[in-house]
Structure 1
C-alpha cells in the first residue's frame, strides 16, 4: 500500500520572529523542514513527499532537497494552510496515483521520531480511516467564563494533545477537504466534521511543535 506525505510549509512563522519562513529556520545547521522530511524518509514507510513551500522560496527548497529529488517534490503553497494541503494533495495524487495512505506532517514538528511515522501508517493500513499521534495532557485544565473566572476544573484523564504526522486513507482526506471551508488548522478535525472516526496512537515528547523563539532554544539545547 503506497504512502505519500504532505508537508505544508508555506507559513511565515511570525510568532517565531526569525525573519524567514519558519520551516526554513536552521537548527544546528539543518532547517526544520529538512529534519521533518528526513524523519519521514527514515521511517522507511513513505514513498513520496510533497512539500508546499512559500512561492518565492520554491527554488531554494528544491535545492535543499537536490539529493532526494526522486523522493521529494516541491510545489508553491497557498495563502492558508488549507490551500497548501489541497495543492500538495493534488500533486501527490498525480505523482503516486496508486497511493492509498496519506500523511500530513508539520515541518514545525521536525523532531518526530520515525517510529511514530511507522505507527501512524500501520494503523491506517490496518483499517483506521484517520489516525493521530497523541500524548496525555500533563497540566491541570481550568474552564473559565468570559470574565476569566474559573467555572470548573476539567477532568484531564480523557484529554490528549495531538501531534503529527496525522494519517488518513487518501479518499477520506479527499472527502474531508472537499467539504471543508477556507481555513482549517487540524486535518483530523475536518474528518470529524464529516462524521469520520479518528483513532489514536502514542505520540512522543520529541515531537514538540516549534512555534516560539523559546521552543527553538529548547530544540537547540537538546541537540547540543
Structure 2
C-alpha cells in the first residue's frame, strides 16, 4: 500500500503581480512548485506525486519539474486542474492507482513546508485517523464584527489550518463524490479537503504545523519566502 501526494499548482499569480502562475515563480533559484515537490519527497513517506497544473502552462510545468532534480524513484504525473481547487484535487484523485491507501493534499504555495511536518501527517493517518490537518496557533487578537460593534473571540481554541492534509484514500474519494456538484463553481467549492470530510461527519484530527508552512499569496509573502530561502542557503 502506498502514499500519494496531490500537489495543487493550478492557481494564478495575479495577486503576486506576475503573469505566470504562482507556482512557476522563481524562489531563490528554483520555482515554487519545485520547492514544494522537493519538500514532499524529502519526507521519505511519499511514493508518488500528482501535480495539478493549468492547461495552458503544462509544458512549462513539465520542464520545471524535469529540471528540478526530484527523487528519481518517485513517479511524477501532471494533471490539468479544474475551475476550482476542489475540482483540481478531484482531477488528481482520479489519476491515483488502486493500491494507494493514504493521500496527502498539499498547496504548492506552501512550498517551504518542512519534510518532518509531512511525515507527521502521514504517521497520524497510519495511526488510525482518517482525516488529519496540521495547525498552528492563532496569535492575533480576533473580533467578530456585527451590527452592534465588535466582540472579541477567544483565540485559545482557534487554530490556523495548513497543508499537507492527510486522508484515508477511500474517505477522501467519498467526500469528493458527495460534493461533486459544487466543484465547478469557485464560489461554492470547498477551500480545503478536511471540510469535505467533516461534512460527512468524519472527525478531523490535528498535528503540529510549522511557521514555515505559510502560504505565499501576496508580494509580501513572496518577499518573506525569498528572505528565508536566502538565510538557509
TM-score category, normalised to shorter length: over 0.9
CA–CA distance in structure 2, aligned partners of residues 108 and 146 of structure 1 = 36
Name the structure 1 match of 2:122. 121
SS at match of 1:65: helix
Tell me the TM-score normalised to structure 1 length.
0.94
Name the structure 2 match of 1:173. 172
CA–CA distance in structure 2, aligned partners of residues 186 and 50 of structure 1 = 17
The reply to whether residue 85 of structure 1 matches residue 84 of structure 2 is no
Instruction: Output aligned runs, 1:1-224, within 5 Å.
Output: 1-66=1-66, 68=70, 70-92=74-96, 96-146=97-147, 149-150=149-150, 152-180=151-179, 181-182=182-183, 183-224=189-230
Unaligned 5+ segments in structure 2 are: 184-188
Q: How many residues align?
A: 219
SS at match of 2:58: helix
CA–CA distance in structure 2, aligned partners of residues 163 and 146 of structure 1 = 31
SS at match of 1:46: coil
CA–CA distance in structure 2, aligned partners of residues 29 and 87 of structure 1 = 29
**How far 1:17 sits from its partner (Å)?**
1.4
SS at match of 2:95: helix
CA–CA distance in structure 1, aligned partners of residues 229 and 42 of structure 2 = 18
Name the structure 1 match of 2:186. none
CA RMSD of aligned residues (A): 1.3
CA–CA distance in structure 2, aligned partners of residues 126 and 175 of structure 1 = 20
| Runs of 4 or more above 4 Å deviation | 67-70
**How far 1:55 sits from its partner (Å)?**
0.5
CA–CA distance in structure 2, aligned partners of residues 9 and 177 of structure 1 = 19
CA–CA distance in structure 1, aligned partners of residues 36 and 20 of structure 2 = 17
CA–CA distance in structure 1, aligned partners of residues 88 and 104 of structure 2 = 14
**How far 1:139 sits from its partner (Å)?**
0.6
